[in-house]
Structure 1
C-alpha cells in the first residue's frame, strides 16, 4: 500500500455544516448534503455550501488536551470551531491507541502529533453519522480500521475497505488491536440513530450525544451563594435523549426505556460527551442517567408509566 498523501484528496468537497467529505471535487456533482437534508440535522443560512481540506488546513488546527485526572484520555479539538464542533477522544491502552469519534480536519501536523508523541493510531470507533466526517482520510493516514454500526451504513458518503461494520443486533463489541483485547467496549444503544454507539473503558462512558449532556449536568448544587451546604434539587436532569439535537425532537419513552435496559448492565462512574465541557463524574452518574430517563418519560406525558418506579 502506498503511503498516505495529504494532498491527494485535499480538493474533495466537504460539507460546511456537518464536515462530511464527499468523493468528488466537482461542485456540480454534489449540490446538497444528504446528511444535512435529514430532519435530524439542518443547513445553516443562507444556503448549502461546501469547502475543501485545502481551505480548512489554512484556517484551522487540531489541539490535544489530556483529561486533567487521566492522561490516557486526550481530547482532540479543532480550533476555531469547524462544522458541528465535536471533539474526538484519543484513548491510550496497553495494546495501542483508539480514536473515539472523528474530526474533519486532518493534516500533517495532526498525523505527526499522534504518531510521534502518542504512539500512533490503531483503530477508530465512530458514534453516529453526524461525525463520519473524513473517516476514510484518517483510516488511510494511520492504516487502521474504522468501526461503524451496520445499521447506519446508508449514511456513508465515502466507502473504504478499512470500514468494519458492527453486526446488526449485536449490542457489545470488544475492540481489539492485532487480536489483543484493548479493554474497550463499543455498546450499541441506538436512539439518536439506529446504530448510535457509546464506548466504555476504565469505568468511563464516552457518550457523544447518544446521551445528550444538559447544561444542568454540571451545575454546582453542593453549596448555595453563601457557600453553605445544600442538596441537589429534585427533578433536575443530567441528560436528554434526543432523536434530533439541533431541532429539539425527543426520543419516545419506549426508546428511552429500551436504551436503559441495555445500559443498566454496565458499570460506569463518569460520562464524556461530544464537547469538552461535557464531562460528568461521580459515583452517582449511572443513577443520574436513570433519573434523567424517568424525568423525560414523565414530562412526555407518561406520569403513570411503571418505568418511573424503576430503581437503581
Structure 2
C-alpha cells in the first residue's frame, strides 16, 4: 500500500452510525446503508468521521475466542461487529471487516503470516474493506454478486462470486445464506478450529443472549422479522451444512459444541412464532 493511497483512504468519509467507508469521494450528504430500512440514520442526524480519526481514538483488540483469533474496536464504534482471522495453509482469511485500520494491527497480522483473502457477509460489514485490502498488500475481497449494488467504488481487488457455494481454500467455503440481504454470506470452516467444523454466518443467523437460541431477521435494529418464504429459503441453505460451532457477529456471541442442533431448534421455534 503506497503512502498516498493510505493517506487518501484514511481521510474519506466514514459513517458514524454504521461505519461504512466511502472511497473515492471527499464528501457525502447521506449514507445509503443507513437510509435503508434494515439500518437507521442516527438520532442526532447523519454524522461523518474518517478512518484516521477513528484509529486515533480507538484500539483494535485481538483475542482468542474459542480457538479463533477475533478483532474488534475498543471502545465500541458504529455497529460494533467483530472480524475473524482464519488460519489456512497459504495465509489467513479475514472474515468480516472493521471501520478502521491501524499500523499496530497490520503489523500483528503480518507476524501471524499475513492475509491471503478478505471475505464479508453483507453490506453492513463492508466498512473499511478497501483500506484493509490495501494495507494487507492488495489482497482480494470476496463478496456475493447479489449485493454488488451496495459497493460504491471500483477496485481491482473486488471479486464477486455467484451461486450457493464458493471454495475459497481447501478447508473454507463461502455459502449463500439469503434473507437479511439477498447476497448474505456465511463462511464455513470445514475442519476447524475443532473437529466438526464451524459456521460464521454474519447476520443471516443472529445468536440470542442466552447463546442457545438463534433468530433470523430482515432488520435487527428496526425489528422487522424474516417472513415465512425467506425463512424456508434460508433453512434450505443451512440444512446441508455440517458444523459444530457457530461464531456470531458480536462479542461473546458464539455457540460452541452443539450449534447445528441449536440452530435447527431455533428454526422450529421461529416458525412457530410466525404462526402465532
Q: When the two structures are superposed, what TM-score results if normalisation uses the length of structure 1?
A: 0.82
| Deviation, structure 1 residue 5 | 4.8
Q: Give the aligned CA root-mean-square deviation in angstroms.
A: 1.6
Question: How far apart are the structure 2 equivalents of 1:293 and 1:159?
Answer: 38
Structure 2 stretches of 5 or more lacking a match? 192-196
- Which residue in 1 is equivalent to 2:206? 212
Query: Per the alignment, do residues 208 and 265 of structure 1 end up closer, same or farther by CA in structure 2, a change over 3 Å counting?
Result: same
State the Cα distance separating 1:260 from its structure 2 match: 1.4
**SS of alignment partner, residue 293 of structure 1:** helix
Aligned match for 1:197, one of 185, 189, 201: 185
Q: Report the alpha carbon displacement of residue 111 of structure 1 after superposing the two structures with TM.
A: 1.0
Instruction: Quote the offset at 1:4 in angstroms.
Output: 7.4
Structure 2 counterpart of 1:175: 168
Tell me, yes or no, if structure 1 residue 134 matches structure 2 residue 134.
Answer: no
CA distance in 1, matches of 2:160, 2:113: 25
1:166 matched to which residue of 2? 161
User: Which structure would you say has the larger RCO, counting Cα contacts within 8 Å and 6 or more residues apart?
Assistant: 2
- 1:235 corresponds to which residue? none
Instruction: Specify the alignment match of 2:10 in structure 1.
Output: 10
Decide which of 31, 47, 50 is 2:48's aligned counterpart.
Answer: 50
Match of 1:265 in 2: 240
Change (3 A) 1:24 1:174: closer
Count of residues paired in the alignment: 269
Distance in 1, matches of 2:2 and 2:54, equals 24
Q: Secondary structure at the match of 1:255?
A: helix
- Structure whose alpha-carbon radius of gyration is higher: 1
Task: Report the Cα distance in structure 1 between the residues aligned to 2:24 and 2:185, rounded to whole angstroms.
Answer: 29
2:68 pairs with 1:80: no
Which residue does the alignment assign to 1:239? 214
CA distance in 1, matches of 2:146, 2:25: 28
2:69 partner SS: strand
Residue 288 in structure 1 maps to residue 262 in structure 2: yes
How do 1:24-173 and structure 2 match up within 5 A?
24=24, 26-27=26-27, 30-68=28-66, 70=67, 73-116=68-111, 118-142=112-136, 143-167=138-162, 170-173=163-166
Q: d(CA) in 1 for partners of 2:255 and 2:165?
A: 23
